[in-house]
Structure 1
Amino acid sequence: MTQTSENVTWLTQEAYNKLREELDYLTGRARTEIAAKIAAAREEGDLRENGGYHAAKEEQGKQELRVRQLTQLLENAQVGEAPATTDGTVAPGMVVTIAFDGDEDDTLAFLLASREYASSEIETYSPQSPLGGGVLGHKVGEDVEYELPNGRKASVRILKAEPYSG
């Protein structure tokens, strides 16, 4: 499970190992493969009109961005379980159930966690997302207003906040 608390990212050992494997691949075999693609495309001639070369360079840039993201994430990682709150306060690593505009029939349950932990089991919202940031630190029973990406305001009532047992 991935949970962010201030500058620390909490990871289970399994999540840490998975991210470490991805970083090792990207800094090893993937770099070698992309360098070979770039070299092969360069051999084809004029780089201004070489689509293969430009595609390989773009792929290389995306890989290096992901390397930087993973490196930073793993540098700030704390392996183990995050301290669980039991007082009903919404925190990373919790499954939060909300009602939109206080309507108990229009609800959503989601995991408040880093996108690295997103899965098909449950919808995941990061603490940096508008909804995630809006409910973070609030308690069960509170009505919370947050700003949508389009600048409008939305409100939700927090119905439940339980540690994720995934």
Structure 2
Amino acid sequence: MRWLASLGGVGYLRPAPGTWGSLAALPLAYGVHMVGGFWLLLALTVLAFGLGWLSVVKLTAEGHGKDPSWVVIDELVGQWIAVFPVSYGAMLMSVDLWRLWPGWIAGFVLFRLFDIWKPWIIGYIDRMGTPLGVMLDDVLAGILAALIAVVLAGISHGMLM
């Protein structure tokens, strides 16, 4: 469970283990997309959420604290959600994922911003202090990052002007 929750030890990197976890999630998302496209990325995100939740339940029951800093499986889930628009867009347009590189950067930066800042309901969920809260605040940060990245892409391409 420690291996899963720490993304193979990435969560033990210092400083800022959450940022390292988010960075590690990006090449993994790329690889998943290359193997099975957006739909595989979506399915594995759901699977990672479930396994992450179970691992956090087990680890907190073992006395590792409510939200150990080395647990970064939640960052993987949130970061993958933040790049859903990139993966989906590449699939729809039948283009290489790297042609949408601004979306990768926006997804990463926006996700980290919302995961650290924890505005509005994200902070409320984080303060629940439960294994579900550990996972769900990153899901919401990822959703918010994805939505804002879509708006920024629309503005950049002149579609929302």
Query: Is TM (by shorter chain) over 0.5?
Result: no
Choose 1 or 2 for highest CA Rg: 1
TM superposition score normalised by structure 2: 0.32
Which has a greater percent of strand? 1
RCO higher in structure (CA 8 A, sep ≥6): 2
